[in-house]
Amino acid sequence: MDGESKTILCGSCKVPLQGPEDPGPKDTVACPNCDRGDTVENVVKEVEAYAEHEASRYLQDAARDAAQRSQFMTFDGPRITPRTFRFIVDLDL
């Protein structure tokens, strides 16, 4: 992480959540489009789960690609199934 703050998006509409200026953990932020919202605390937890999930999928895909190009490597673990998350961020993967 580079300390740059990421815009949190609605997992369904992919639009930035709206909330109070400089929200605290107990403040509620919500999607202006579908009204999906939660406290900042819960939204951050969801986004962290999303980032972790996406990062493992990304790494697995990279390992799988490498294995496909190599005759010395095989990769046959179960594929991580894409999940949907209530809230997401743009990850620069």
* Binders of Zn ion in range 8-27 (CB under 5 A): 10, 12-13
> Could you tell me how many residues of this chain bind Zn ion (CB under 5 A)?
7
Position 59 contacts Zn ion (CB under 5 A) = no
Rg (CA), the chain: 17
Position of tokens 């990062």?
55
Its sign, for the CA torsion 80, 41, 13, 55, is negative
Of 34-42, 48-56, 64-72, 82-90, which segment contacts Zn ion by CB under 5 A? Answer: 34-42
Q: Is 33 in the site for Zn ion (CB under 5 A)?
A: yes
83 Cβ contact partners less than 8 Å away, ≥ 6 residues apart: 53
CB nearer Zn ion, residue 34 or residue 66 = 34
Q: Quote the CA–CA distance of 40 and 48 in Å, as a whole number.
A: 12
CB of 34 to Zn ion, least distance (A): 3
Q: Which residues bind Zn ion (CB under 5 A)?
A: 10, 12-13, 31, 33-34, 36
